[in-house]
Amino acid sequence: MAKGGEFDELCLVEFEWNAGEVIDFEGDLRRADDIVAGYSVTVTPTVVFVGADGEQLGDQLIGYQGSDLYFELLRKRLRQATEWLNPNGS
């Protein structure tokens, strides 16, 4: 999907619980597990779309159900996040 250009307008970041300390959306150094807990993530994989301010945009994609279903659900969450950012379609 990334090679096909579907995510060209996004910044994709893989985030790991045990990453130690990371820089948060305000530029502060925080524990990675605190940030993960802030989004109520309890299992991997979990995909969370967030805005530039760290606000969650739409529903999380939790778990993996096989590639066909997973990528369709991922596209759905991406559309949902885009609609959240642009509610009037602008």
Entry pTM:
0.76
11-35 pLDDT, tens digit each: 777 777 778 898 888 999 999 889 8
* Domain ranges within the chain, ordered by starting residue: 21-85
Residue type, 6: E
What is residue 68's predicted lDDT score, i.e. its pLDDT? 86
Work out the pLDDT band at 56, boundaries 50, 70, 90. Answer: very high
How confident is the model over 64-82, as pLDDT tens digits?
888 889 888 988 988 888 8
Name the token pair of 51. 């805005």
CB 78 within 8 A of CB 2: no
- Cα–Cα distances (Å) from 19 to 13, 28, 36, 65, in that order, read 13, 15, 11, 26
pLDDT given for residue 29 in this prediction? 93
Mean pLDDT of 56-68: 89
